[in-house]
């Protein structure tokens, strides 16, 4: 069944954050996005020039309309608009027709450009929403404004402490739970780009989509982080300020548990000739390692193809199938008698791989790479 995600948030006229970013994230991850718009903003990549809150009655009417007909599996809450709306929303989430929906609360208080999007009364009302949420996802400034880790955990929700606003070349995100403390953390190199508008909205909506699909919280966060990082890599470079990310470019990137055919590796004899040939076909070269006899290319739909001198006889090939749950997939196959040349292991180029042969002897690689397939550290 398609994951049904209700987004309660403000509209961004520039399309980078808010409802617009939320819809893109849910859609690209296979969910159905529904909306209850809490505010209309006039903004671009440089500034917010106007904010018009939607009356609480209209926000609730939007929610009632979609819940009564389509139903909801998860709710993502972003910009609220007013304390009255926050309290009404908290009460609405307690009713039987929404009591089973997972709630992801992203306490939007200030934009990337510095504009305030929540008044003190609305911030005070956030407590009621955190008591209903499965997880809250503040950035470091919002975390401080809400009283810190213990204050948020006291409401009973889990807390994802996002490290994007911290200093340093590594971004560290930490998942905390009230009784257990830190239960997971993720570290990844910082992606240096001014085009990061909507990262928080996108992450929260991606998490909500995972929860709506029935994923546990930790893998839902892991997949959401991969999605955000790929969207940052794919940012189109629009506007002269903090531009939007490239949600629409994230595809064939192992974000789902099922196998995705997204990489072929072909033996080559003449490196220069092979590179020239595939570039002439219209593929974009993304890795150029003539000393290793290795090149990788990307097609317009995100699928990649590699050539490797000395990797085998001409006419041979390695087919790559990616899964966001590699170890579970391989364990499932092994229990059913599939024999592997080697089980999943971490490789030096950032992929985790298992290898086997099909009945005809063709080589198959089952792998998990996320951003390192299309965006390896040595990408051109």
Q: 43-95 pLDDT, tens per residue?
A: 999 999 999 999 999 999 999 999 999 999 999 999 998 889 999 999 999 99
Would you state the pLDDT for residue 25? 98
Q: Is it the case that residue 113 has pLDDT exceeding 60?
A: no
Query: What's the pLDDT at 229?
Result: 97
Token pair, residue 86, equals: 């926050």
Q: What is the pLDDT confidence band of residue 164, given thresholds at 50, 70 and 90?
A: confident
Question: Do the bridges between strand 74-77 and strand 4-12 make them parallel or antiparallel, or are there none, so unpaired?
Answer: parallel
Lowest-confidence pick of 36-40, 79-83, 305-309: 79-83
Tell me the average pLDDT across 350-367: 92
The Cα 69–Cα 370 span in angstroms is 36
User: What is the pLDDT at residue 56?
Assistant: 97
pLDDT of residue 202: 98
Per-residue pLDDT tens digits for 269-278: 899 999 999 9
Does 116 score more than 60 pLDDT? no
**Model confidence at 174: pLDDT above 80:** yes
**Residue 240 confidence class, pLDDT cut points 50, 70, 90:** very high
Query: Do the bridges between strand 102-105 and strand 135-136 make them parallel or antiparallel, or are there none, so unpaired?
Result: parallel
Q: What is the pLDDT of residues 132-161, one digit of tens each?
A: 999 999 999 899 989 999 999 999 999 999
SS3 content of the chain, % helix, strand, coil (to 5): 30, 30, 40
Q: Tell me if 323 sits within 8 A of 256, measured CB to CB.
A: yes
Domain with residues 260-374, CATH architecture: Roll (3.10)
- For the record, the structure tokens of 230 come out as 């790929």
Q: Above 60 in pLDDT, residue 114? A: no
Angle at 209 between CA 206 and CA 210, to 5 degrees: 90
The CATH label, of 3.40.50.720, 3.40.1190.20, 3.20.20.140, 3.40.50.300, for the domain at 4-249 is 3.40.1190.20
Task: Report domain extents, the chain.
Answer: 4-249, 260-374
Q: 129 near 86, Cβ under 8 Å?
A: yes
Q: Are 253 and 226 in contact (CB under 8 A)?
A: yes
Q: What angle do CA 146, 148, 152 make, to 5 degrees?
A: 70
Q: What percent of the chain is predicted at pLDDT more than 70?
A: 96
pLDDT reported for residue 16: 96
**Cut 0.95: pTM above it:** no
Task: Judge whether residue 124 has pLDDT over 90.
Answer: no
Arithmetic mean of pLDDT, 351-365? 91
Answer whether residue 222 shows pLDDT above 80.
Answer: yes
The mean of the pLDDT values for the chain is 93
Structure token digits, residue 9? 């948030």
* pLDDT higher than threshold 60 for residue 105: yes
> What is the model's pLDDT at position 120?
72
Q: Residue range 312-327: average pLDDT?
A: 83
SS3 347: coil
Q: Is the pLDDT of residue 315 over 70?
A: no
Confidence of residue 117 (pLDDT cuts 50, 70, 90): low
pLDDT at 361: 86
For the chain, give the percent of residues with pLDDT over 90: 84
Asked if the model's pLDDT at residue 40 lies above 70, the reply is yes
Residue 108 pLDDT: 84
- 263 with 320: CB under 8 angstroms? yes
Average pLDDT over residues 16-30: 97
Residue 258 pLDDT class (50, 70, 90 cuts): confident
What pLDDT score does 110 carry? Answer: 61
| Residue 313 pLDDT > 70 | no
């Amino acid at each position: 069944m398609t994951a049904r995600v209700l987004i309660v948030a403000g509209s961004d006229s520039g399309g980078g954050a808010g409802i617009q970013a939320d819809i893109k994230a849910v859609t690209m991850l296979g969910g159905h996005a529904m909306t209850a718009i809490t505010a209309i903003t006039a903004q671009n990549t440089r500034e917010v020039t106007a904010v018009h809150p939607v009356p609480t009655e209209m926000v609730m009417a939007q929610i009632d309309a979609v819940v009564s007909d389509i139903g909801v599996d998860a709710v993502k809450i972003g910009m609220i608009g007013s304390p009255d709306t926050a309290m009404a929303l908290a009460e609405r989430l307690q009713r039987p027709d929404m009591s089973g929906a997972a709630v992801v609360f992203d306490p939007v208080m200030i934009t990337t450009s510095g504009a305030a999007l929540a008044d003190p009364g609305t911030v005070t009302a956030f407590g009621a929403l955190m008591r209903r949420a499965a997880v809250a996802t503040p950035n470091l400034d919002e975390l401080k404004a809400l009283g810190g880790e213990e204050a948020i955990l006291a409401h009973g929700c889990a807390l994802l402490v996002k490290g994007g606003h911290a200093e340093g070349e590594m971004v560290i995100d930490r998942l905390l739970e009230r009784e257990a403390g830190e239960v997971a953390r993720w570290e990844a190199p910082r992606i240096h780009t001014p085009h990061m508008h909507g990262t928080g909205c996108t992450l929260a909506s991606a998490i909500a989509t995972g929860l709506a699909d029935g994923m546990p919280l930790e893998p839902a966060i892991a997949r959401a982080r991969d999605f955000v990082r790929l969207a940052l890599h794919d940012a189109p470079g629009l506007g002269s300020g903090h531009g939007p990310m490239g949600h629409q470019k994230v595809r064939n990137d192992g974000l789902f548990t099922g196998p995705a055919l997204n990489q072929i590796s072909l033996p080559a004899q003449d490196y220069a000739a092979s590179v020239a040939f595939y570039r002439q076909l219209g593929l974009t070269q993304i890795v150029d390692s003539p000393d290793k006899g290795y090149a990788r290319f990307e097609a317009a739909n995100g699928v990649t193809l590699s050539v490797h001198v000395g990797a085998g006889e001409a006419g041979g090939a390695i087919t790559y199938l990616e899964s966001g749950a590699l170890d579970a997939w391989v364990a499932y196959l092994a229990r059913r008698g599939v024999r592997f040349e080697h089980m999943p292991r971490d490789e030096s180029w950032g992929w985790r791989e298992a290898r086997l042969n099909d009945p005809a002897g063709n080589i198959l690689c089952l792998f998990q790479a996320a951003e390192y397939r299309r965006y390896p550290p040595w990408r051109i």
